[in-house]
Amino acid sequence: MAPANRHASLVIAGESGVLITGPSGSGKTELALALMAHCTAHGRFARLVSDDQVFLSAAAGRLIGRAPPTIAGLAEARGFGPAAIAHQSRAVVDLVVRLVAAEAAPRLHEGEEMHLQGVVVPCLELAARRTQGAVFAVAARLGLPPFS
């Protein structure tokens, strides 16, 4: 299966790859940067893989994401434009975060999944543009501080 180009951001948070999807303007980049800042503040590894577009492919039953070469190492800083940032070339996707309208976001999650490139990945649907709450929901799901 050929790689799929997905409108999303991908970060490594601690030991997990987090793919953040949602419509334009929903806060994908803001959540990616906030999640990386949260991990770094708590002594955990954090790195951008790709911002705005992610090439997804399946390998050995895992979903792998990488940046298109033209945007590798860049993240959008609203009001400034693309800015250079430390990055990893690829990551296994362990969790998908779907940013949705606040009224569509469930209060509790019970085993939601997404099927991408023939691979099933756990999924959280979180309210768009509610970055701080989303950071804590992702941290709780991944067992990152302050959660165990």
Question: Can you give the pLDDT at residue 103?
Answer: 84
Question: Can you give the pLDDT at residue 111?
Answer: 80
Provide CB contacts within 8 A for 83, sequence distance 6+: 74, 75, 76, 77
Question: Can you give the pLDDT at residue 49?
Answer: 98
Task: Assess contact for 32 and 19: CB atoms under 8 A.
Answer: no
> Is the confidence at residue 97, as pLDDT, over 90?
yes
Question: Can you give the pLDDT at residue 122?
Answer: 97
> Is the confidence at residue 7, as pLDDT, over 90?
yes
Degrees, nearest 5: CA angle 103-35-30: 60
Q: Which pLDDT tens digit goes with each residue over 13-44?
A: 999 999 999 999 999 999 999 999 999 999 99
Task: Assess contact for 126 and 139: CB atoms under 8 A.
Answer: no
φ, ψ for residue 108, nearest 5 deg? -125, 150
Tell which residue, 44, 22, 25, has the closest CA to residue 35: 44
Q: Which pLDDT tens digit goes with each residue over 46-85?
A: 999 999 999 999 999 999 999 999 999 999 988 898 999 9
Domains of the chain and any CATH numbers: 4-142 (3.40.50.300)
Provide CB contacts within 8 A for 110, sequence distance 6+: none
**Six-digit token string for 112:** 């939601």
What is the average per-residue pLDDT within 121-128? Answer: 96
> Is the confidence at residue 132, as pLDDT, over 90?
yes
Question: Can you give the pLDDT at residue 71?
Answer: 95
